[in-house]
Structure 1
């Protein structure tokens, strides 16, 4: 049976832009679709993707918003054209400028080549940024590699995204800041701090911030994203992201007054990430690692399915087909006379038995009348 392809959706940032252009809040959009505002935030940040009827309804609503935006833009363009025509009646039309030279067509890359190019371009910077979130070098490298493993497994979706680096960055940050990281044995052994005292103090200050505030600060003052993009990547509203950023800056300035200026803070964050010698693995190694993890998960799923089928078959084979009531335990009964065993037959009993044996089995003979 052929499976119908999923309805295409715009990129997460385009979804947010269409909603904001239509002057809709996440709560209003969630009410139209019958979901929660948190679900809409997850869709607009790219962390989750709608499926089934929710996806079709979401795609239809976004298409309607895009058509309305196109209509408004066309109307504004016609108004501007009318204004230019009115101005052109009084002033001579300028000579047309020469058009730009045609650019050569880009060379099509294979999926593996495109993935390797994305990894080589963004992985080193992502490892340094993740180090600012965790303070652990090995965890930063592992988080970025796991994020690229996921990206390679879902490569068609990542390749069509308008910001593939942002997609991988959000996945790496989620893995690095997961609460389950504290349960790993590696987390119990601290890593050596930075050699420079200033870097060590700044890193300790960052690690004392709540994870959400720390992530917002790194995205806005470290990576250089604007506030709407930071809010979308952290799955928060713009107001919430601004409040987190202000609280994080106040906490950093409270311990390090010299970093109260955002420009100085941005420079220090870049220096702290650059002073650590953090290296990322080679792209083919990461790609093969992702493929190996996918194969292991597939084999584990197949083995689990086979074990489940075998257990079900064994249960059906050995399970009883009808209800058997339990046998109650025996109890001693008192007051009943013992059973007497039969003894030897008397002469009368022997004569009676012989008489019964001599008679016919089908009854006595028919009596016939006789003359006397």
Structure 2
């Protein structure tokens, strides 16, 4: 295993770091100021569009997509340090570079499983950053940690499919630029194979019967920068048969293919969030005095900072190993490592952010620092893309199998 950055990665890292310093970080307060002046908080601030134009001009665009025909053609190992950099400003940088979830996963699905018409109609404008999208799987009435539980119906009616169901925490759906949903539902609810009951289908937002009902909060945040997390109702929404992605019964397999890269992308960005937390901790520690000496001289603070650095270095190596395995033996071959990073990274980064908040006192839970919002994002990722306990269960079974 060789995790040294190659020449192309080094070049992109240098450009991306400069882009972050020169454009993204200065734009953070500007975006908040502009959002307060918008007619709707879900509209996109002008500075975000400016960032997107600059990122595209610099070639810092669609870095996540390994398919060279549509994206940058980077391997997971090449993309990992770049995603980490964007994680330092997770509410601006991924969007600015067109590498934000859930669009990334949806573009991967369309590139891998979509037909020519679907790619032309939806993938191309997503790649161009002209529209946004959402992935509708989670439901409020069932334990969605088990995807076979979903109850949304996708029923064939002549040349159409009719979709009926209720979804929630559908990321990005509040954004008016979100024009398309990829919806997971059951086309064969009574099928013998519970992993062949589900299908995925494209449902345009303006389809009659589709209602974006409300924004769901996350620890009190509505997450305007990511387009929110909505409750969406599909009440006999009718779309053409041609909107089916792949084949009937292929939805579960597509979901697994989608979630593997999504999980590692989240972990890459989480490391960037942790790095920003460490930076903020250090700046606070050297700039504040308590009980006669700088916080940086307090033993407990030094322990927090040292432990955070050790944790980040461990996490980074595990993520890089996982990326390398995905590149060399495929997502299936890296399954155990993907589960390991999904368990370890959010949990550890939440701990680092918690210490950073503690070090900042009242400021840590305020809007004057990014820590509270970063904490909310990181804590959510202990649930998103499968809760920790599901991954622990699967990983333990894999480990125990060696001894049975």
What TM-score comes out, normalization by structure 1 length? 0.25
Larger radius of gyration: 1
Task: Pick the structure with more helix per residue.
Answer: 1
